[in-house]
Amino acid sequence: MRVVFLSPRYPPEMRQFTRGLAEVGAEVFGVGDGTPDPELRRYLTGYLEVPSLLDEEDVIARVHAWVRGHSIDRVLANWEPLVMTAARLNERLGLPGMSVDAVRGFRDKQLMKERVAAAGLRVPRAQRVRSIADLWSALEVTGYPAIVKPISGAGSADTYKVESRADVQRILPQMRHVAEAICEEFIAGEEYTYDTVCIDGVPVYESVTQYLPNALEMRSQEWVSPIMLSVRDLDQPHIRAGIELGRKAMSALGMGSGMTHMEWFRTASGEVVFGEIACRPGGACVVDLMNYTSDIDLFREWARVVTHGRFEAPTLRKYNVGIVFKRAQGQGRISGIAGLTEFYDRYRPYIVEDTLLRPGTPRRDWKATLLSDGYLVFRHPEMAIAREMAIAAATGIQLYAS
C-alpha cells in the first residue's frame, strides 16, 4: 500500500499517524511545508516540501505532478484544513476515498447542519452569514444568546458568544478576516464529544469525552484549567443517547473509513443536541485519552483501517481517563509550581503523563494552543475518583511565570 499523507509534521500528533501507517506496512509519501527531522524521516518513503499546505490549488498541482507515473493507492489527511485537499486529490487521481461532496458536508458547518437536520436530528437553529447585514438578519432567527464562528473553522478559533447588540458590535472587528461565518442558536448544557474509528461508515471503536467547562469557555477564559474526561461506561442512558445521535449524524453525512470527532450537548431537560462533526480525529490529546482508556494504539489502528480495512485492537474500556491543561499566572518564564508534589503524593499510581512546563521554560501563548503550559493525564476505573483527580489538578495545582 502506497499512500500520500498530507502534513506528517503538524499538528504534532500527525507524527504518530505517520508512524502508524509505517507500522502497518504502508509506504508513506509525506507532503508538508517544512523539513522533516530524522526521527520522522524513518517512517517516510518519500517527501515533497511545498511552499504552503494551505494553498490548496498549488498543493494539488504539485502533488499531481510529483506522483505522475507512480502507483499511489490513496491520499490521506487528518488535519482539518487539509481533508478537502485530500478528497480533491483522490478524485483527481481516481483513488478511493470519501467524495468531495461528502467531505464538504463535514467542513461546511451550515451545510452539515442542514444535512443532519434533514435526517430528523436536533441541531441548533443556524444561518450562513457573508456580511454584517446577514449577521443581523440571522440573529432575528436565532435570538440571543448566539454563537458566531467561521463556516469551515476548527476547534473554537474565531468563535464568539454574543448576548446583545453590544456584543455583536464588539466582535465585528475581530471577524473581518473571516469570509464566511455561521450564526447559530446557543445551546446551554453539558458538552461532550463522540469519537469513532469507522470502516465504511460503521463504527468499530467508539468513545465519549466530557468537556469541563464547555469548549468555548476553555478557549476564552485564561484562568480556566480545561478538563477533558474520557468516559469508561458508555451504557449510561444519557451517553447512549449521544452515541445514537452521532451514529445517525455520520450516516446522514456519508462517512467512509477513518476517524470522526463530534461535539454534542445534553441540556438540563435531558435533550441531546448535535453540535458539529469532523471526518478527522479530535485534537488536544483526544486520541491519547482513547488509547489510555483501552490500552491500545489508535494511531496504528486508524492506519490499519484506511489501508487494509481492518480493526484489530481490543475494544474493552478499562478506565475513565482525565486530562487537565494548566496555564501559568504571569508572563515570561515558568518560575514555580505549587501543589504538584501534593498531587503526586495523593494520586501517583494513577498518573500516566506529565508534560507541565518546569521552571525556566518560556510560557506558551494560551490562545494559540489548548495544550497551554502543559498537562497531566490520569486514569482510574471509577469515574468518581477520576473526576476527583481532575478537580484536584484543576484547582490545587498552579504554575507561575515571571
pLDDT tens readout for residues 215-259: 888 888 899 999 999 999 999 999 999 999 999 999 999 999 999
- Which pLDDT tens digit goes with each residue over 86-140? 999 999 999 999 999 999 999 999 999 999 999 999 999 999 999 989 999 999 9
% of the chain beyond a pLDDT of 70:
99
Predicted local distance difference test score (pLDDT) of residue 322: 98
Q: How far is CA 290 from CA 117, 198, 315, 332, in A?
A: 29, 15, 10, 34
Residues 28, 41: contact at Cβ < 8 Å?
no
Q: What is d(CA 126, CA 396) in angstroms, rounded to the nearest whole number?
A: 40
- Give the span between the Cα atoms of 237 and 392, in whole angstroms: 27
For the chain, domains (ranges, CATH) are: 2-97 (3.40.50.20), 125-185 (3.30.1490.20), 190-401 (3.30.470.20)
Here the cell at position 316 is: 474493552
Q: pLDDT band for position 154 (50/70/90)?
A: low
Single pTM value for the model: 0.93
Q: For residue 167, name the pLDDT band (cuts at 50, 70, 90).
A: very high
Whole-Å CA distances, 171 to 177, 220, 326, 343: 12, 13, 27, 40
pLDDT confidence bin for 156, thresholds 50/70/90: low
**323-358: per-residue pLDDT in tens?**
999 999 999 999 999 999 999 999 999 999 999 999
CA atoms of 282 and 226, how far apart (whole Å): 16
pLDDT for res 182: 92
Q: Write phi, then psi, for 221 (nearest 5 degrees).
A: -125, 110
Identify the pLDDT of residue 178: 84
pLDDT, tens only, 372-389? 999 999 999 999 999 999
Q: What is the DSSP letter of 195?
A: E
Angle between helix 100-107 and 83-93 (nearest 10) = 170
Which set of grid coordinates corresponds to residue 223?
484562568
> Is residue 155's pLDDT more than 60?
no
